[in-house]
Structure 1
Amino acid sequence: MASNLSSPTVELVKDKERFDKILKDAASRLVVVHFAASWAEQCQQMGDVANELSKDPAYADVTFITVDAESLAEVSYEYEIVAAPTFVFIKGGKMIDRLDGANAAELTGKVNKHSSRSVSDLNQPSAKQNLNERLKRLINSAPVILFMKGDPNTPRCGFSRQMIQILNEQNVKYSTFDILEDDDVRQGLKAFSNWPTFPQLYVKGELMGGLDIVKEMVESGEIKDLVPSTQDLNTRLKNLINQSPVVLFMKGSPSTPRCGFSRTTIGILNETGVPYTTFDILSDDEVRQGLKTYSDWPTYPQLYVKGELMGGLDIIKEMKENGELEAALKE
């Protein structure tokens, strides 16, 4: 077992008997299971986030554990884990939610949403203090974070849609939090930031403002000085395709593929049993367009092994039929 999955406060579960006992002992409490892989840097980063959340007194009733997705294949199969990191949220022995991929803000939001604290408890002074602590963690969970209605693919109000368009045009690297998914955050952030509307843009933990302010910053050119822009595209693409031994650039996620080709490719990869990481090209137009030129491959999905392009669905199918695919992935 690789030691870099361990943390001071989050238990690394090494066998199914222990896993089952934790779920049984938790009764109706929330259990957050981090399915990780020792070779994935993103798993280490998200493990650090989970570790910090486990120390928060506000989540004293939440049990956080880590499972090596490769070593405990039986448990991974039971919860349909196809990529690492994946977080599964369990209450009463049943999975109530999941998070595929590395998103610190969304992880914090889901833990907050599913913990046992009721919304009415916010009237208590201690609860308000705990909420403020969570809000601080959220706004500092990424260098640039946008609190919006919906997500970048499906904004659920015109102001959020305009803000996403501006950030994309300015090549800003940002994370988002859907305030419609968490009423505590939606209401609490208004008071915390003394800003009554959404979207709200934060940079390095500081509120920049809403849509009107950001528009003014663009017109004055100030946004380029305050907001960290994306790194050189080729460097970023190189880092993305080398983030794990096997990386699939697809439309959607393994649990919700958003095109037939991606769905078929996921099915083939799952049959091999080889762990892989995915990137949703619909979430980042710069990557979607840039990777076509970088790899000289015009369509998606695209599969990379150890930083080298293997090909698209047709090549993957052909390699599977020839019996070459599994060996190539495990090489």
Structure 2
Amino acid sequence: MSKILEVTSEDEFNTHVTTLDPTTLLVLSFHTPWAAPCAQMNTVLATLAASYPATTPPRTLWLSVNAEELPDVSDAYDVTAVPFLVLARAGATLETVSGSDAGKVRAAIERHAAGGEGKAEDVVIPPKQDVTYRDTTGPAPRADAAGVAGEEKDADANGTAVASGEGKEDLNKRLGELVKAAPVMLFMKGTPSAPQCGFSRQLVALLRENSVRYGFFNILADDEVRQGLKEFADWPTFPQLWVGGELVGGLDIVSLPEMRLPLRGALDWANSMIQIKEEIANDPDFLKEYAVVKA
């Protein structure tokens, strides 16, 4: 059976890709270690990989890439959110799937694998949460986005129309999950490595200065979220910073001198929550001493 290989360097990735047989389907999964949807998608992909036999040459090659650790590889495949799946053959991208919809992922792989044996069992996962996490203690984001003077608003900032592809109730449910997908969430134009507006770039820089781990969502990649979040938050501009599922505001609010102490406290709390989650994930007995012993 096939297995997922974790790629740890750009050289290793290039070696896999350049030596790949042109008939092999490359299944490339981008993830980050802190995003729960990524952990769930890894389970889905491991199950799917096991259903494809190991052959010579390989019918499929399954690679897993940390989107933050290998930013050049991520940029090459236009990764703006994780989990993100790329299916390629002979150097050409066949299809991409963004988000944690197990059904879409399985259907796409089966469609392009052409003869993969067996099917994985259904895996139940939460609704799509296309969130990317970034640790700002790492390399600084590229500051190549143009600065803009004054408060930036979308041309349709007062509009509240929601695209017909998703009902308002479902969209609000999804937005409620997105704003809580990480203790600190940044809804921005572009990505931290390639901001698409000056205000997003400045807010990314502010979070980096405070060594904050945060999730981000590129609102330019999903117009339903972009329009829906304006009404959901009652806030017509981007970027938006959320802490603990509560809206803090945009750059104008976050950068106010009187906001420094309360924001610092909120960010410290958020970082503590991330550390606790990591402790629990790495140590199954982390909460054992607090367990209630039944008589």
Counterpart position of 1:297:
235
Instruction: State how far apart, in whole Å, the 1-side matches of 2:203 and 2:51 are.
Output: 36
Over the matched positions of the two proteins, sequence identity in percent amounts to 26
Counterparts of 1:269-308 in structure 2, within 5 Å, are: 276-278=215-217, 282-283=223-224, 288=229, 291-292=232-233, 296-299=234-237, 302-305=240-243, 307-308=245-246
Report the alpha carbon displacement of residue 289 of structure 1 after superposing the two structures with TM. Answer: 7.4
Counterpart position of 2:141:
none
The answer to whether the Cα contact below 8 Å between 2:184 and 2:243 also exists between their aligned partners in 1 is: yes
SS, match of residue 297 in structure 1: coil
Q: Single out whichever of 16-25 and 277-286 deviates more from structure 2.
A: 277-286
Which amino acid in the other structure matches residue 6 of structure 2? L
> Gaps (5+ residues) in structure 1?
1-7, 118-126, 145-151, 156-163, 174-229, 255-261, 320-326
Give the TM-score of the pair, scaled to structure 2: 0.53
Report the alpha carbon displacement of residue 102 of structure 1 after superposing the two structures with TM. Answer: 2.2
Report the alpha carbon displacement of residue 91 of structure 1 after superposing the two structures with TM. Answer: 1.6
Two-structure CA RMSD over aligned residues (Å): 4.7
Instruction: State how far apart, in whole Å, the 2-side matches of 1:69 and 1:90 are.
Output: 17
Which amino acid in the other structure matches residue 21 of structure 1? T
1:237-257, Cα deviation, whole Å (9 max, x unpaired): 664323135534479x97xxx
Instruction: State how far apart, in whole Å, the 2-side matches of 1:309 and 1:43 are.
Output: 25
Instruction: State how far apart, in whole Å, the 2-side matches of 1:267 and 1:289 are.
Output: 16
How many pairs align?
A: 212
Counterpart position of 2:4:
10
1:268-310, Cα deviation, whole Å (9 max, x unpaired): 3898698743276754799647732xxx535555333564534
1:53-105, Cα deviation, whole Å (9 max, x unpaired): 10113797221111112222232233333332222222223333322222222
1:112 maps to which of 107, 110, 118: 110
**Does residue 25 in structure 1 map to residue 23 in structure 2?**
no
The answer to whether the Cα contact below 8 Å between 1:53 and 1:108 also exists between their aligned partners in 2 is: yes
> Gaps (5+ residues) in structure 2?
128-161, 257-263, 272-295
Which amino acid in the other structure matches residue 243 of structure 1? A
Distance 1:53 1:275, change over 3 A: farther
Distance 1:288 1:66, change over 3 A: same
Counterpart position of 1:179:
none
SS, match of residue 98 in structure 1: strand
Distance 1:315 1:88, change over 3 A: farther
Counterpart position of 2:157:
none
Distance 1:271 1:23, change over 3 A: farther
SS, match of residue 54 in structure 1: helix
Which amino acid in the other structure matches residue 277 of structure 1? F
Which amino acid in the other structure matches residue 278 of structure 1? F
2:180 maps to which of 235, 239, 242: 242
